[in-house]
Each structure stands twice: as structure tokens, then as C-alpha cells.
Amino acid sequence: MTRQTAIANAETYFDSGAFKTDLTRRVAIPTESQNPERAAELERYIKAEMQPALEALGFKTRILTHEKAGAPFLYAERIEGASLPTVLGYGHGDVIRGLESGWKEGLSPWTLTEVDGRYYGRGVVDNKGQHTIDIAAQAAVIAARGKLGFNAKWLIEMGEETGSRGLRELCAEQGDLLKADVLIGSDGPRLAIDRPTIFLGSRGAFPIDIWIDAREGGHHSGNWGGLLSNPAIQLTHALASIVGPTGQIRIPEWVPQEIPESVRRALADCEVVSRPGDPEIDFAWGEPGLTRAEQVYGWCSFEILAITAGNPENPVNAVPPRAWARGQLRFVVGIDPASVIPALRRHLDRHGFSYVQVAKGRDEIFAATRLDPEHPWVQWAATAMRRTTNEKLAVLPNLGGSLPNDIFSEVLNLPTVWVPHSYPGCSQHAPNEHLPLSVAREGLRLMAGLYWDMGEPGTPAHA
């Protein structure tokens, strides 16, 4: 049997409707980890769906738990030889809330529906569809070769959408169990729908609360306007000092000193464009002198996610006593998360805003990670994918968004290579989440070829 046989097996899995059947079952399990009433569904997804699927491929499985986690983990391994490369795969079976009322007529988050070349349903891209593709691709290799030709391990968690609580501690405690040569996972979007992509880490995310408590209670704007400071106006000026009128960050500690040359080289071939259904890019926004790709994948951005003062739903004629904003810094490797709040404090004091209060927001901090685009595992994976597809490959140093990649790269000390099976317009985390059939089918082909090559001589692990 040959590499092409494995790829043909993956194509048959899709073309026969088996992929759709498997994904239909998995989408139907409402694994909303943000909803306490769905706790039993999280365990059901592992025990009734994924555990049998992996055991059918010759994997030994076990359920792992941790006291800090809100849900169990599934571990699976297929060990074929001590001298063979070992690949750790990762996926998450939990999903964001279904948001049933927001879906288009005829669609439901818990029913896989095919419309106009797309599969609709919650989790079809984040992340049930993506790990379904990867596991099926390993099955295609086993069917062609009679074995994988390498050792495979899987870790599937059920709490990624609530911050992956307990994952870090579990990996620290189970380091020997999870030992591998490389992590190959699938999450997040491609650069574009028609551009197969590898990304090597993720930008970090730091939530920041910024507020002013001026006084107790509101006071009539006719009687007191002009005499009392307005915290909404003050907060607006404070926020404007952080980012310029075109989005340039004004706190030096919040941006890298430079973009590494290997990162620039990788991004030089990656064009970020607005496609039908996407928002129009504001070309005058952001750090000047950078390409669009460098803006998203090589630099930092600061956003105001929410801001309140007074009563927005029913404004009254009163000077508000308080104003509050939630900011978020998306940062790349080179920015120290521990310096974010102190740097902001110094900046505000320097600009006369000592009365503005700041603190880390309640959300989790995601660390920034990035494997060098010229790392041997990256070059190997890119070569494997180019052997399979005629499409132009994109290699992104890191995802623009965030995921718990630092747990794998720093706690488990693994090189991390991600091959996403989604695209930017997939409505991830929103109603009408969908997976284009073309992306799913190509993803199966790409992963079958990659896993076939993993069982051949010439991997970095063999070297």
C-alpha cells in the first residue's frame, strides 16, 4: 500500500458520508461547558463517543481527572515501537453556548445541517469537526499500512471554552504519560478558506479592567454639571492616551522591540484580505509600517471590549458616579504578562490619570507562544502538506487568537505544529457556526498524507 492509498481512504471516508454521520452524532451531544446543567453531557461525549472511536483503532484509553478541572479528560495511546516517533494529538469536545435563538431559520446548534456546501452546527469547527478529521486521517493510514508506523497519543479535554482549568496541572503531573516528540493538533482558522495553513503558537490575551469611582451616586446634571468631574469623560481621555486615534499602542512595554527576521520571512508570503462575508479591513488602522499579516501575527493589539457609565438603556440627567471599561491586550512572544499592569499604571500616572484604577480582569490570561518557522518539525510538516495539495501553503508563526499552547510548549516542552481545518468566516463562537465541505475534505487528505509521512524515515525524531 502507498501514501496515495491512505489519502484515497480519507477521501472515501468523506465521500461515502461516514464523516457526516460521525460528526452528526458528535454535534448532537450539547457539550456546553459554560452551562453547569450540561456537566453530564461532557462526560457522555468522552465515554459514549470518543472512547469507542479510538479503541476501535487499537488505542488504549483511560479517563483522567484533576481536582482543578471542571470536567474529565480522555487519554488514548497506540504504542507501536520504542524507537518510533511519538505524536501527541489534542482536541476539545466542549463547545461555546448554543445561542439557539440566534441561528438562521431551519438551523439548530445541535443538529448537523448541510446547506450550500457547508455543515452547520455547534462544534463543527470548534473543535469536534477538527479532531474528527485528525482521528479519521490516522484511521486512513492504519487501513492502508496495517499500522501507523509511529506512536500516537491523544488528549481530549472538555473544558477549553472555560479556560482549560486543570489542564496545566494535569500535564505537569502526567508529563511521563504525555511524553512525545511533537504535538500536532488542529484548532482555529486557516489564513483563508482556500489556503492550507500551519500555525506554530498563539498570541497571548490579557484582560484588563480600567475604571473610575468618582463618588457615591449620580447627581443632577443641571445643578451640578460643571462642578463635578465626569468619570465617563475622564475615562475616555485615559483610554485615548493608551492607543492613538489610528490604533497605535502608546505603551512601549506592550509591543515587541522588533519582529524576528524568521517571522517576517514567513509572513511575507501571507496576505490578509477581506472576503465575502468578512468585515472590510480598515487600512488606516494599527501600527504604521507593518503589513496586514504582521499586524495580526507579529504584533500586539489593544481593544476595548466593553465600556459603561450611567444607565445606557435608560439615560437620566445625572453626572454618573462611575465609569468602567474592559480592555484586552493581544500580545506576541517577547511581552512579559507580569509587566502589563505595572506598565499601564506608570503610563497613566505619567499622563495625569492617577485617579484611574486598573486591575487584571477576571478572565484567564493566555500566554503567547511561537515556534520558530524554521524549526525542523515545521519544515517537515510543511513539506508533507505540500506533497498532498496543489494549494499554496501558509506558515503562520502564531495564531492571531489564543489557545492553551503554552501548556504543551512549556510544560511538556514540545514543538507545536497546528493544522487548522476552519477559516476566518466560520462564525466560531457565534450563531450559524459552519464548516465548508471543501475544507473538511481537504483537511482529511492533508492529515492522511502528513500521518503517512510520520511513519516513514526522515522525520526530525528519526534524525
pLDDT digits (tens, 9 = 90+) for 423-434: 999 999 999 999
Q: Are 453 and 3 in contact (CB under 8 A)?
A: yes
CA–CA separation, 230 and 312 (whole Å): 15
Cβ neighbours of residue 97 closer than 8 Å, sequence gap 6 or more: 32, 34, 35
Half-sphere exposure of 405 (CA within 13 A, CB side): 32
Question: For the domain bounded by 3-202+368-454, which CATH number is listed?
Answer: 3.40.630.10
pLDDT greater than 80 at residue 222: yes
pLDDT greater than 70 at residue 239: yes
Q: Of 234, 221, 222, nearest to 322 (Cα)?
A: 234
Cβ neighbours of residue 83 closer than 8 Å, sequence gap 6 or more: none
Radius of gyration of the chain (CA): 24
**Residue 393 Cα distances to 11, 269, 280, angstroms:** 20, 9, 24
Give the mean model confidence (pLDDT) for residues 446-460. Answer: 97
Q: Are 177 and 427 in contact (CB under 8 A)?
A: no
Q: Are 351 and 203 in contact (CB under 8 A)?
A: no
The DSSP 8-state label assigned to residue 111 in this structure reads B
pLDDT greater than 80 at residue 281: yes
Domain boundaries, the chain: 3-202+368-454, 204-256+300-360
The pLDDT score that the predictor gives to residue 337 is: 96
Per DSSP, the three-state class of 249 is strand
Per DSSP, the three-state class of 384 is helix
CA–CA separation, 143 and 456 (whole Å): 16
Give the mean model confidence (pLDDT) for residues 260-271. Answer: 94
**Residue 382 Cα distances to 54, 84, 193, 443, 463, angstroms:** 27, 21, 18, 14, 17
Query: What kind and span of H or E run contains 370?
Result: strand 369-370
CA–CA separation, 47 and 320 (whole Å): 53
pLDDT tens by residue, 123-144: 999 999 999 999 999 999 999 9
Q: What is the pTM of this model?
A: 0.92
**Domain 204-256+300-360 = CATH 1.10.3720.10:** no
Common-topology check for domains 3-202+368-454 and 204-256+300-360: no
pLDDT tens by residue, 282-308: 999 999 999 999 999 999 999 999 999
pLDDT greater than 70 at residue 463: no
Residue with cell 501507523: 148
Q: Are 112 and 177 in contact (CB under 8 A)?
A: no
Give the mean model confidence (pLDDT) for residues 408-432. Answer: 96
CA–CA separation, 209 and 361 (whole Å): 5
